[in-house]
Amino acid sequence: MDRRGWLNFIGRRVLPAVAVLALLAASLKLAEQAAGGGNEFASAYPWVLGAAVLALLVLVILIAQRLWRLRAEMKRDAPGARLSRRLLLTLILLAVPPIVVVYGFALRFINATVDSWFDVNTERALDDALEVGRIVIDERVRKAESGISELADELDTSFDSTLQQALDSRIDSLEAIQLSVFEPNRQVLALASSDPRYLEPLFPDTSVLMRISGEDRFAAAEPLGDVLMIRVLVPIGSATGGNKRRLLQGLFPLPDRLQPLTRSIENASFDFQRLKYLRGSLKLTFGLILSFVMLLSVLFAVLAAFGVSRRLLAPLGRLIHATRAVGAGRFDTPLPIASNDELGQLVNSFSVMTREVELAGMRAQRSAREIDAQRVWLGAVLERLSAGVLGFDNTGILRVANRAGEAILGVQLSNYSGRNLAEIKRDHPELASIADPLARHMREGLREWREEIVIDAESGRRVLMLRGAALPGEGGFVAVFDDLTVLNSAQRDAAWGEVARRLAHEVKNPLTPIQLAAERLRRRFLGRLPADDSELLDRATHTIVSQVEALKTMVNAFGDYARPPQLTTRPVALHALIDEVLDLYASDQRLSLTRQFMDGEPMIKVDAVRLRQAMHNLLKNALEAIGETRKPQILVRTAPHHDGDAAWVDISVADNGPGLPEGFGDRWFEPYISSKARGTGLGLAVVRKIAEEHGGSVSARQREGGGAEFTLRLPLGLNAGTGAG
């Protein structure tokens, strides 16, 4: 503890206690003086009383201040305030009643004790003794008065010269200690003394002289110094003519045996009477001192109770504050210093608990972060999976659906998170073929299962491979499905490519010799044979040549389809290229060819030859679709398209033909799928292949008001569309 701490400790703890102890000691001293007399601290009474009142006032103010503070703390629900009030009440209840009881008993005891001092018989005995003393003294006074009166009569007729002799002769017979005659002006005429201590005349005072002038004599016993003396004063002679007379004074001591007895009687009676008179004051004094001591003790006890409760509960209040702070997640809140008692154990336990909670919280946070990271990672994985993934909890509620799943099924499944399969099925009946088996397998509780299903999504008929598994414990179920449609298409594309290459290699090579052989036969034998045979030969060779040409055309088409994508891309002015292609068809007077190009000249990086072929194929497809339509119309237009950050250009070829056949889908862009009797079925397949080689796509839709519209979407911009080249 530093110097300031010591001073604070002395000022706040030691001094008040010392002051209270000093006041209590002073009160005890006052009580002792009240009971037994003594005059040492008589002048200190006002100071002690003032200090006591001041101490009481200070204590009352301190207690009021602490009560006010406690009330404020309770109002704002400060930690430990209610407990402090309870403890305070308990301490006060423990401390105050005993003090009050002791006070009551002490007061009663003092009153009873003081009253017991005054016994009636004692008082009567003392009064009687006093009366006896008075009678004895009165008898002595009368005797002395009688003797002095006789002497005064004798002296009345004596000469002044004989006064001294008369006194000397009578002093022994009268048993006086001093006889004197003096003038009214105090001039001593004669004085006789039987005791050397009384050689000086003891003149009567004014009051005595007044008594003599009124009653013509004075006789009384009065204390002279330490002894009781009878003084008798009688005028000599009769009063005539208003002249003041000489006075004869006689002093008579009480007998030696009587002196201490009368003094003792007087003192005893006096003491008793004094005590009797002081009885009330004594009770009041004791009552006041006791009340002061009681009040001081009670108030000090209450103040001490405040201190004790604050000292006891301060760590608890800080602990409550700390618990609230820890509850709010502030683990760095300082805890009260642990003492070596139960409260200290509580603080230590709380400290340990706080550390453990903090560690647990950190572990939980780390786990949560790891879980979040796992979730993000899993989400990223799920989002990058080409297979669709659906996660259900054990009650069949959808919890997870990845983007591939949404793309395959054509439904925004994230909107159905937290909903069950029945609701999804109700909103999207086309998903019944996946919802039903999912629900069935979840009901059956199979650990793993797989099933191939077909759904009719908005994007067309899709074949899915659906696999499911029950997660461990109560983890729910997960379903994974792959779009076999794309896989099948790729497989078919690969197969057709192989067929095309074989055709190009195996079929195209013999066609030329066949054609040449047919033409040689025609030249050698046409005209040499009879007319009927020549005609037959002509028809046959012509058929062979034309069919070989047709076969060549078909084989070339297959060759085009199967040709490896070796693109030679360069920036091309799109509208100019389309114009060049369309110009080839403009000569057809029957056809109405309309162009609707977007503003400007979009430059795209493509293989111009391949794009030109795609445009030809689309236009041929349109012309074949128009067929015998009376007013055939073809609309070619370009339009920009934006998908996120990617910019595209759509090249659409629309016709007013019969429109797309029923059930048109992605498969119609596969080789050898055609609705036309004479088509090779490779036109649209080639278009799709060219589109995909350039990183684009092709799609078809039914036009409103009739006809079909095929759209080739290519990346816009010089850096795009490099495709596989």
Partner 1 sequence: MVSFMHFWKRLASAVLAMALLAGCEAIEQQAPGALQVRAARIVAASAGPRLELDLDCRLNGPMMDALEHGIPITLRVDLRAQSDSAVLHDQRRIELRYFPLTRRYQLRDHREGDVQSFPASAYLIDALASLKLSLPQAFAQLPAGSALSLDVALDKTALPGALRLPALIEPAWRLAAPEFTWTVAAG
Residue 331: what residue type? F
Token representation of residue 299:
């108030």
Contact (CB, 8 A) for 596 and 637: yes
Alpha carbons within 13 angstroms on the beta-carbon side of residue 720 total 17
Contact region for partner 1 (CB under 8 A) — 130-138, 374-382, 510-518, 625-633?
Answer: 130-138
Shortest gap between Cβ of 130 and partner 1 (angstroms)? 6
Q: Confirm or reject binding of residue 186 to partner 1 (CB under 8 A).
A: no
Q: Confirm or reject binding of residue 259 to partner 1 (CB under 8 A).
A: no
Q: Confirm or reject binding of residue 308 to partner 1 (CB under 8 A).
A: no
Contact (CB, 8 A) for 579 and 542: no
Contact (CB, 8 A) for 539 and 529: no
Instruction: Return the residues of window 350-379 that contact partner 1 according to CB under 8 A.
Output: none
Task: Count the Cβ atoms, other than its own, within 10 Å of residue 249.
Answer: 23
Cα–Cα distance between 477 and 471 in angstroms, integer? 5
Residue placing its CB nearer to partner 1 in the complex, 225 or 445: 225
Contact (CB, 8 A) for 275 and 118: yes
In three state form, how does the secondary structure of 657-707 look? CCCCCCCCCHHHHCCCCCCCCCCCCCHHHHHHHHHHHCCCEEEEEECCCCC
Contact region for partner 1 (CB under 8 A) — 129-137, 560-568, 572-580, 584-592?
Answer: 129-137
Instruction: Pick one of 25, 284, 359, 517: the residue that binds partner 1 (CB under 8 A).
Output: 284
Residue placing its CB nearer to partner 1 in the complex, 231 or 688: 231
Q: Which single residue is written with the structure tokens 């090779």?
A: 680
Residue placing its CB nearer to partner 1 in the complex, 279 or 403: 279
Shortest gap between Cβ of 178 and partner 1 (angstroms)? 17
Question: Which is nearest to 434 in space by CA: 407, 461, 413, 453?
Answer: 453
Question: Which is nearest to 552 in space by CA: 384, 680, 430?
Answer: 680
Shortest gap between Cβ of 117 and partner 1 (angstroms)? 12
First to last CA, the chain: 88
Token representation of residue 113:
């004790």
Task: Count the Cβ atoms, other than its own, within 10 Å of residue 567.
Answer: 19
Q: Confirm or reject binding of residue 125 to partner 1 (CB under 8 A).
A: no
DSSP string, 344-361: HHHHHHHHHHHHHHHHHH
Instruction: Pick one of 278, 397, 439, 603: the residue that binds partner 1 (CB under 8 A).
Output: 278
Instruction: Pick one of 178, 269, 515, 652: the residue that binds partner 1 (CB under 8 A).
Output: 269
Shortest gap between Cβ of 285 and partner 1 (angstroms)? 5
Contact region for partner 1 (CB under 8 A) — 142-150, 154-162, 275-283, 344-352?
Answer: 275-283
Cα–Cα distance between 401 and 413 in angstroms, integer? 6
What is the chain's Cα-based Rg?
71
Shortest gap between Cβ of 113 and partner 1 (angstroms)? 13
Q: Confirm or reject binding of residue 134 to partner 1 (CB under 8 A).
A: yes
Contact (CB, 8 A) for 405 and 481: yes
Cα–Cα distance between 132 and 464 in angstroms, integer? 144
Contact region for partner 1 (CB under 8 A) — 89-97, 267-275, 324-332, 503-511?
Answer: 267-275
Instruction: Return the residues of window 39-58 that contact partner 1 according to CB under 8 A.
Output: 39, 42-43, 45-46, 49
Residue placing its CB nearer to partner 1 in the complex, 209 or 521: 209
Q: Confirm or reject binding of residue 193 to partner 1 (CB under 8 A).
A: no
Contact (CB, 8 A) for 657 and 677: no
Q: Confirm or reject binding of residue 116 to partner 1 (CB under 8 A).
A: no
Q: Confirm or reject binding of residue 137 to partner 1 (CB under 8 A).
A: yes
DSSP string, 248-282: EEEEEEPPTTHHHHHHHHHHHHHHHHHHHHHHHHH
Residue 669: what residue type? F
Residue placing its CB nearer to partner 1 in the complex, 262 or 402: 262
Contact region for partner 1 (CB under 8 A) — 191-199, 268-276, 443-451, 680-688?
Answer: 268-276
Shortest gap between Cβ of 221 and partner 1 (angstroms)? 5
Instruction: Return the residues of window 223-242 that contact partner 1 according to CB under 8 A.
Output: 223-224, 228
Contact region for partner 1 (CB under 8 A) — 82-90, 276-284, 442-450, 492-500?
Answer: 276-284
Contact region for partner 1 (CB under 8 A) — 76-84, 278-286, 486-494, 524-532?
Answer: 278-286
Residue placing its CB nearer to partner 1 in the complex, 37 or 334: 37
Partner residues linked to 454 by β-bridges:
463
Residue placing its CB nearer to partner 1 in the complex, 204 or 721: 204
Residue placing its CB nearer to partner 1 in the complex, 211 or 552: 211
Contact region for partner 1 (CB under 8 A) — 150-158, 271-279, 307-315, 576-584?
Answer: 271-279
Q: Which single residue is written with the structure tokens 């996660």?
A: 391
Instruction: Pick one of 133, 317, 468, 671: the residue that binds partner 1 (CB under 8 A).
Output: 133
Residue placing its CB nearer to partner 1 in the complex, 32 or 498: 32
Strands 448-457 and 646-655: unpaired
Instruction: Pick one of 221, 398, 413, 716: the residue that binds partner 1 (CB under 8 A).
Output: 221
Residue placing its CB nearer to partner 1 in the complex, 52 or 442: 52
Residue placing its CB nearer to partner 1 in the complex, 223 or 237: 223
Shortest gap between Cβ of 47 and partner 1 (angstroms)? 11
Residue placing its CB nearer to partner 1 in the complex, 68 or 270: 270
# residues near partner 1 by CB under 8 A:
44
SS3 417: coil
Cα–Cα distance between 652 and 447 in angstroms, integer? 50
DSSP 194: S
User: How far is CA 12 from each of CA 48, 193, 301, 314, rounded to the nearest angstrom?
Assistant: 22, 74, 16, 17
Instruction: Pick one of 281, 543, 566, 594: the residue that binds partner 1 (CB under 8 A).
Output: 281
DSSP 473: T
Residue ranges in contact with partner 1 by CB under 8 A: 30, 33-39, 42-43, 45-46, 49, 130, 133-134, 137, 205-207, 211, 220-224, 228, 262, 265-266, 269-271, 273-274, 276-278, 281-282, 284-285, 288-289
